């Protein structure tokens, strides 16, 4: 019973799928239709950018792993249903990544302001106490 619980919570590694000469996988082995993932990527890329087949497939596999992780986290609840609150709880760490990045940028700006203030004070002290 304990072994079953561990297996449910541990994401399953995707087996290595043979690729063809172009570095792409059989579409039937991918978690999502290749065109769907490609079209979603194109929405956020500049016009004219080409997406290599391996990138399309690896993005597809990565998205599949994310769905798996989130589903396993929601499955850890003892209920026979999955509600919105469970989804929010499962995706919360991934949503907070953007907040952490924004906080990092904010801290860097504050430290740069402190540094420039220190530089001004150093120049002022040097000017006042020149021999």
Domain of 65 in residue numbering reads as 2-76
Question: 25: which strand partners?
Answer: 19
Q: How far is Cα 112 from Cα 106, in angstroms, rounded to an integer?
A: 10
| Residue 119 in domain | no
Share of the chain above pLDDT 90, in %: 66
76 pLDDT above the threshold of 90:
yes
What is residue 47's DSSP assignment? T
**Is there a contact between 52 and 62 (Cβ–Cβ < 8 Å)?**
no
| Residue 55 in domain | yes
pLDDT at 22: 58
| Residue 122 in domain | no
| Residue 124 in domain | no
| Residue 9 in domain | yes
pLDDT at 10: 47
Domain count of the fold of the chain: 1
């Amino acid at each position: 019973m304990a072994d079953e619980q561990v297996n449910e919570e541990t994401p399953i590694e995707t087996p290595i799928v043979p690729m063809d000469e172009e570095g792409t996988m059989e579409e039937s082995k991918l978690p999502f239709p290749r065109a769907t993932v490609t079209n979603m990527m194109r929405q956020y890329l500049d016009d004219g950018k080409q997406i290599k087949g391996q990138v399309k497939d690896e993005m597809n596999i990565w998205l599949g792993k994310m769905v798996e992780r989130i589903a396993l986290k929601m499955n850890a609840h003892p209920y026979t249903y999955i509600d919105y609150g469970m989804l929010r709880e499962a995706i919360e760490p991934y949503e907070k990544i953007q907040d952490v990045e924004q906080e990092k940028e904010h801290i860097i700006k504050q430290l740069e302001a402190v540094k420039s203030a220190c530089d001004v004070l150093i120049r002022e002290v040097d000017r006042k106490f020149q021999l």
